[in-house]
Amino acid sequence: MVVVFQVIATYAPYIYLVCGLTALYQLYRLWQVREERRQAIFMLERERAVRELSGIFSVALLLLVIMGFTYFASRTIPQAIVAEPEPTLPPQFALAITPTNTPLPVTPSPTPTETATPTPEPPTPEPGQQTIEQPPTPTPEPAPAAQAGSPPLCPDARSVISSPGNGATVSGVFTLIGTATHEQFSYYKVEFAPGANAQNGFTYLADGRGPVFNGALASINSRGFANGPWTFQLTVVDLTGNYPEPCRVTLYIEN
C-alpha cells in the first residue's frame, strides 16, 4: 500500500494538471450548454441541455474527489508515516551489564634459600695400607651439531627463506622461516624437489593465504623424505596469477 501512495505522490503534479485542463473544458461546456438552453425553443432541447448540465456537474464532482484523494495520498499519509516513532524495546529485553570479578594480583611466595649440605670426606688410610687410585671417568663428547648453512641468495626481497640456511642439515620436524609478501598478495606456496639446486620437477608441499614477515612459512617432517639433499622453493603469487622469481634453498635430510 505504501508503494501506491509513493507512486501517487510522484505523479501528483501531472494528476493536478489533467484535472485542471478537464475542469477548464467543463467550464467551456457549461457556458455552451447554458447558451443553448437559453436559446432553446422546444422542450426536447431544454431537456437535453439539463441532462448535459447534470453530466458536467457529475464530472466536476469526480474531479474534486480525484484531486482531494491525490492531495491526501501525497501529503498527509507520507507525513504520518515519517512521523511515526520507532518502537522501543520493553524493559525486559534491555541488556543488563553484569559486573565481573577482577582477579587479585598474585602475591609472590618467598623463594627458599639453598642450604649447603656437608659432604663427607673420604677416610684417611692407615699407615701401611696401599691407596687404590680410581681411574678417571671419561667425559662424553658432545654430539656434533647440525650444520646451520649459509643464508640463501634470494633474487627478490618479497620471497625469502631465511632459515634453515642453504646447505643446512635437518632432521625430525623443522620449520621454514622467511618472508612471503607482495603489493598485490594472493597466496604463497612451498614446493620441494630431489637433489641439490634443483631447477624443475617441484612438488606441492604447503601454502599460505596471508602474507608473512620473517615468520613461519611451513612446518616439515623430515621422516617423509629420503636421506640426502633436497631443494625447497618458496613462490609468492599475486592477484593476477603472476609471481616474482622464487627463492630456493638446499637442505640435507639426515633421519
User: Does residue 130 lie within any of the structural domains?
Assistant: no
Question: Where residue 204 sits, what CATH number does that domain have?
Answer: 2.60.40.10
Q: Are strands 212-221 and 173-180 parallel, antiparallel or unpaired?
A: antiparallel
**What pLDDT digit, counting tens, does each position of 226-241 carry?**
999 999 999 999 999 9
| Domain assignment present for 240 | yes
Asked if residue 142 is part of any domain, the answer here is no
Q: Given this model, what pLDDT does residue 11 score?
A: 81
Pairing of strands 203-208, 185-194: antiparallel
Count the domains in the chain. 2
pTM score of the predicted model: 0.43
Do residues 9 and 73 lie in contact, with contact meaning Cβ atoms separated by under 8 Å? Answer: yes
Q: How far apart are CA 159 and CA 178, in angstroms?
A: 8
| 193 falls within a domain | yes
For residue 138, being part of any structural domain is answered with no
- Choosing from 54, 83, 112, the residue where a domain stops is 83
C-alpha cell at 148: 646451520
C-alpha radius of gyration, the chain, whole number = 50
Last residue of a domain, one of 49, 83, 117: 83
Q: Which of 83, 104, 125 is the last residue of a domain?
A: 83
Report, as an integer, the average pLDDT of 8-22. 86
State phi, psi for 229 to the nearest 5 degrees.
Answer: -80, 140
Residue 208 identity (one-letter amino acid): G
Distance CA 180, CA 191 (A): 14
Domain of residue 67: give its range.
2-83
Per-residue pLDDT at 214 exceeds 80: yes
Does a structural domain hold residue 68?
yes
Average of per-residue pLDDT values in the chain: 79
In a domain, 180, yes or no: yes
Of the given ranges (9-18, 62-71, 135-144, 167-176), which has the lowest mean pLDDT?
135-144
DSSP 8-state symbol, 214: E
Nearest to 235 by CA among 223, 220, 217: 217
